[in-house]
Amino acid sequence: MKKNSLGIIGGGQLGMFLCQAAKKENLRTIVFSTTENFSAKNFCDSYFISDFNDNTKIDKFIDSADFFTIETENIPKNFLKKIEKKKKLFPNSNIIEISQNRLKEKKFLNSIENIKTVNFKSLKNFDDLLKSFYLFNHKAILKTCEMGYDGKGQFRLSRENIGQFKNLNLQNYILEELVNFKKEISVIVCRSQKDIVTYPPVENIHKDSILRETIFPADISQNVKKNAISIAKRIANELDLEGILAIEMFLMKDNTVLVNELAPRPHNSGHWTMDFCKISQFDNLVYSIFYGNTRKPNPFKECRMVNVIGKDYSKKNNYQKKYNFYDYFKDEIKELRKMAHYTFTD
Ligand code: AMP
């Protein structure tokens, strides 16, 4: 029988947009959500609300769909492995596990020829932290290896605040050198067994470690553009990716590119592709899963995407009138929570 259903772990806005893309192809979507109210609830065909410990619900979810994908990388490994015993997961659990853990991710990235990240140190204790902080000239960020996102689990260190971390179990942290980059850019790559496509580099503006704005195209030289795309393709090939992967990068003052992070799923910096590309990041993920191929994105207009964060959501009516506005239907406004986004062109 033709495979026609997609299980999505996570029901946030990324899951919601993915459900919409799947619907265009007449596919069924089944969402696994750990929260009662979630963005994708009214867009999927069915859902399971459960925590990650309920094996009965997990088994039912796995039986309910043909193929599986994720909208967040923070999913317990045994859940991912359980899926792979019976069904195909896009991307595979090895790729998700690498991106779940900053230390694993950095080691993997630096193992690829001519790909580099910022300098970093894994830590065992406070003494290691002090030594590494000194080594990085007192300019460093302490980051949890797992479960950090949108700046959560990250601490910029200074001589004044470093003492606070004395009693922390530092084994699950890394220290990164704080770099003075020129710009932040990202590239989204989608790959199947047959082919590979990339979305052109975009420029990302962060505030308080959270993405505020994405600009397409990134204002970078042709050489930097080529290099960023080549880095993205080499990472995807090295991982033997089937599915989608976003690669966040720092463009340094000397035009070298450092890889910051991998996200093995659709990405916030790719939301503009829904309005200004022939084929969006969500469409391409669906194609790579169900048809085993990818399609050229064909971006057609310069544009910007702006995240609506926290209380800014109260200006919703205004945004709706002026821009392509996307509501995430969150149950509650929280500080630094991504509530919606909009795109526009000048
Ligand atoms: P991350 O969660 O690691 O992507 O970090 C969130 C944001 O914090 C990044 O997009 C940067 O704006 C900033 N940041 C993270 N790591 C560094 C670093 N080593 N040096 C300078 N800025 C950083």
* Residues 9 and 34 grouped into a single domain: yes
Calculate the average pLDDT of the chain: 96
Q: How does pLDDT run across 106-120, given as a tens digit for each residue?
A: 999 999 999 999 999
Pick the last residue of a domain from 90, 111, 128. 90
Q: Are residues 306 and 217 in the same domain?
A: yes
Q: What is the pTM of this model?
A: 0.96
- Is residue 325 domain-shared with residue 190, that is, in the same domain? yes
Kindly give the number of the ligand 1 atom that is closest to the alpha carbon of 179.
20
Mutate to test the pocket of ligand 1, among 260, 268, 307 (most ligand atoms within 8 A of CB): 260
Buried-exposed string 220-247: b where 16+ CB fall within 10 A, e elsewhere: beeebbebbbebbbebbeebebbbbbbb
Q: Is residue 95 part of a domain?
A: no
Q: Do 187 and 170 share a structural domain? A: no
DSSP3 helix / strand / coil % (the chain, rounded to 5): 35, 30, 35
The reply to whether 140 falls in a domain is yes
Q: Is 269 touching ligand 1 by the criterion CB < 6 Å?
A: no
SS3 category, 169: coil
Q: Does some domain include residue 41? A: yes
Kindly state if the Cβ of 247 falls inside 6 Å of ligand 1. no
Q: Is position 270 within any domain?
A: yes
Which protein residue has the closest C-alpha to ligand 1 atom 14?
Answer: 209
- CATH value at residue 188: 3.30.470.20
Q: What is the tens place of the pLDDT at every residue in 191-245?
A: 999 999 999 999 999 998 899 999 999 999 999 999 999 999 999 999 999 999 9
Helices (H), the chain: 13-24, 55-64, 77-86, 93-100, 102-110, 126-135, 222-239, 273-276, 281-290, 316-322
Is residue 1 predicted with pLDDT exceeding 80? no
Same domain, 126 and 246: no
175 lines ligand 1 (CB under 6 A): no
- For residue 64, how many other CB atoms are within 10 A of its CB? 16
Task: State the pLDDT at residue 346.
Answer: 82
110: in domain: no
Question: How far is ligand 1, taken at its centre, from the CA of residue 209, in Å?
Answer: 6
| CATH number of the domain where residue 137 is located | 3.30.1490.20
Same domain? For 187 and 170 the reply is no
Q: Is residue 39 part of a domain?
A: yes
* Together in a domain, 211 and 70: no
Site to probe by mutation for ligand 1, drawn from 100, 206, 209, 250 as the one with most ligand atoms within 8 Å of Cβ, is 209
Residue 175 CA to residue 147 CA, distance in Å, equals: 16
* Residue 29 belongs to domain with CATH number: 3.40.50.20
Q: Do 205 and 170 have their domain in common?
A: no
Q: Is 98 within a domain?
A: no
One domain for residues 130 and 232 = no
Query: Could you list the residue range(s) of the whole structural domain that residue 307 is in?
Result: 181-344
Task: Let me know if residue 74 belongs to a domain.
Answer: yes
- In the chain, how many domains are there? 3
The verdict on 149 and 62 lying in the same domain is no
pLDDT at residue 149 is higher than 80: no
HSE-up of residue 274 (Cα within 13 Å, Cβ side): 21
* Cβ 283 under 6 angstroms from ligand 1: no
Check if 174 has its Cβ closer than 6 Å to any atom of ligand 1: no
Say if residues 261 and 198 touch (Cβ distance below 8 Å): no
Q: What is the Å distance from ligand 1's center to 141 Cα?
A: 8
Helix, coil or strand: residue 308? strand
Six-digit token string for 264: 């093995």
- What is residue 150's predicted lDDT score, i.e. its pLDDT? 65
92-96-101 Cα angle (round to 5)? 155
> Do 85 and 128 sit in the same domain of this protein?
no
Q: Are residues 201 and 290 in the same domain?
A: yes
